[in-house]
A and B are shown apart, each in its own frame.
Chain A
Amino acid sequence: MSKLTLNGVTFTSQPNETVLDTLLRENIQIPNGCRQGICQSCLMRSVDVPPPVSAQVGLNQTQQKQNYFHACVCYPEQDMMLALLESEQTIFITARVIQKQLLTVDIVRVIVECDTNLTFFAGQFVNLLRDDGLTRSYSIANRPQADNRLEFHIRRLPNGQFSNWVHDELVVGSTLTLSEPKGSCHYLSGSEAQPLLLIGTGSGLAPLCGIISDALEQSHSGDIHLFHGSRHHEGLYLVDEMRELAIKHANFYYTPCLSGDNVIADTVQGRAHDVALSTIENLKGWRVYLCGHPDMVNHSKRLAYLKGASIKDIYADAFHVISPDTK
């Protein structure tokens, strides 16, 4: 039971309650989205004491030093004085849908054009907002160019309020509101010779596509290995594009993996991360990108580290599913 003070008012947290839970229970309006410490919608700052380390995972070092934390995963360990981020720090962008195309049975490619100049790194994510405020995070699948366009690969989830809306109702010409791009899972220029390992499952290919095209565009000279996994071959997409890229660039290797029983020609049987991590003997000096199912991401993080990759060289983007009962 800790005391949380916000704007001079003190609230008492109940056992096993996050800071976000406490504030919402007290009817304080706090923007929130994923409730899993990822989307940064509920980011706030502790003015007096350092927040629990576990509530700062995924934030950059500057934010960590400034005591920023995710309210949705912060179980207070002591009394805290809280500050909300000033509203002007949250920048919203309006964008118009200019293309919608089905990539697999349940993944749709949505390309939007923003009405303002956009600075982002390929592989970052934005929060997409529906008019009623429903918010979800999606990775950007393209690299920045002058056209202010963003590409997303959106998978339809059973009972997914947002994804079903995108699939069924969003049309070319519709407008969407976007947060500014966030996240540190992106290509870093400056170490062009470093080998890259990218593992993605399902629509986890999206940020990896962006990172790969950015790396190749910036003449990355180290090897780039992409392992994309799905259960069935219908779930693999952009296969031809990736194969073409591999023919064009001698340092780019593409391995589509199928974890189900039905294996088709030119794919490898097995889960993408199992295949990847058994193919590559030693990851010392590598940079590793992991995107997709949270279990795959967490498991691979550990294995990549044990295979020699440095913690600071492992970038991850876990695609959490928001359960229908969380609003």
Chain B
Amino acid sequence: MSEVQETTAAASLFDQLGGAAAVEAAVDIFYRKVLEDYRINRFFDHSDMEAQAAKQKAFLTMAFGGPNNYTGKDMREAHAKFVKMGLNDSHFDAVMEHLIATLVELSVPPALIAQVDALAESTRTDILGK
């Protein structure tokens, strides 16, 4: 039974979302929402915008189920200084809120949004250093 299901579900989440072009479109909307949000933008204040956007792109690619070399260890190390600055669940929730809003804005079907939600959510413990 599982074999049959796997063949019929051949189109990956990443492909269904529209691949790299979808990430490109999403990052522009998503990162703007993040920078406009007073609850979290202090974590992004001093960063180079292009380098930041590239990181958001890597994050979205991962959350979209695309090819990535995201590791929990990298995530922990990269966010450790922000955890010291007070990064916590409420900030992670805010980012998740913007991610979902971005997908809604791009008219992504709810079933796919739920999958992206789960993938992004899976980074929570590493990002918050738990």
B49 pairs with A53, CB closer than 8 A? no
Q: A56–B50 Cα gap in the complex (Å)?
A: 10
Binds B, one of A86-94, A114-122, A200-208, A301-309: A301-309
Q: A305–B55 Cα gap in the complex (Å)?
A: 16
B32 pairs with A57, CB closer than 8 A? no
B26-66: CB near A (< 8 Å → 1, else 0) gives: 01100110011000000000001111011100100000000
A302 pairs with B51, CB closer than 8 A? no
Q: Which of B24, B31, B36, B51 contacts A53 (CB 8 A)?
A: B51
Task: Name the residue in B28, B35, B48, B50 with the highest tally of chain A Cβ atoms < 10 Å from its Cβ.
Answer: B50
A311 pairs with B48, CB closer than 8 A? no
A306 with B35, Cβ < 8 A, contacts A50-B69, A57-B48 known: yes
A310 CB within 8 Å of chain B = yes
A310 pairs with B28, CB closer than 8 A? yes
A302 pairs with B55, CB closer than 8 A? no
Q: A53–B58 Cα gap in the complex (Å)?
A: 10
A54 CB within 8 Å of chain B = yes
Q: Which of B28, B49, B55, B69 contacts A301 (CB 8 A)?
A: B49
Q: Which of B50, B58, B69 contacts A311 (CB 8 A)?
A: B50
Q: Which residues of A contact B50 (CB under 8 A)?
A: 57-58, 301, 311
A298 CB within 8 Å of chain B = yes
B35 pairs with A311, CB closer than 8 A? no
A residues contacting the other copy or chain, number (CB 8 A): 15
A311 with B27, Cβ < 8 A, contacts A57-B50, A305-B35 known: yes
Q: Which residues of B contact A50 (CB under 8 A)?
A: 69
Task: Please give me the residue from chain A that is nearest to B78 by CB atom.
Answer: A77
A311 pairs with B28, CB closer than 8 A? yes
Q: A310–B24 Cα gap in the complex (Å)?
A: 10
Q: Which residues of A contact B55 (CB under 8 A)?
A: 53
How many whole Å from A77's CB to the nearest CB in chain B? 8
Q: A47–B55 Cα gap in the complex (Å)?
A: 21
A306 pairs with B28, CB closer than 8 A? no
How many whole Å from B91's CB to the nearest CB in chain A? 19
B36 pairs with A302, CB closer than 8 A? no
B49 pairs with A311, CB closer than 8 A? yes
Q: Which residues of A contact B74 (CB under 8 A)?
A: 77
Q: Which residues of A contact B32 (CB under 8 A)?
A: 305-306
Q: A240–B107 Cα gap in the complex (Å)?
A: 50
Q: Which residues of B contact A54 (CB under 8 A)?
A: 48, 51
A292-317: CB near B (< 8 Å → 1, else 0) gives: 00000010011001100011100000
B35 pairs with A302, CB closer than 8 A? yes
A311 with B51, Cβ < 8 A, contacts A50-B69, A306-B32, A306-B35 known: no
How many whole Å from B45's CB to the nearest CB in chain A? 9
Q: Which residues of B contact A (CB under 8 A)?
A: 24, 27-28, 31-32, 35-36, 48-51, 53-55, 58, 69, 74
Closest 4 CB pairs of A and B: A53-B54, A54-B51, A57-B50, A301-B49
Can you report 19 A-B residue pairs in the complex whose CB atoms are below 8 A from each other? A53-B51, A53-B54, A53-B55, A53-B58, A54-B51, A57-B51, A57-B54, A77-B74, A298-B49, A301-B50, A305-B31, A305-B32, A305-B35, A310-B28, A311-B27, A311-B28, A311-B31, A311-B50, A312-B24
Q: Which residues of A contact B (CB under 8 A)?
A: 50, 53-54, 56-58, 77, 298, 301-302, 305-306, 310-312
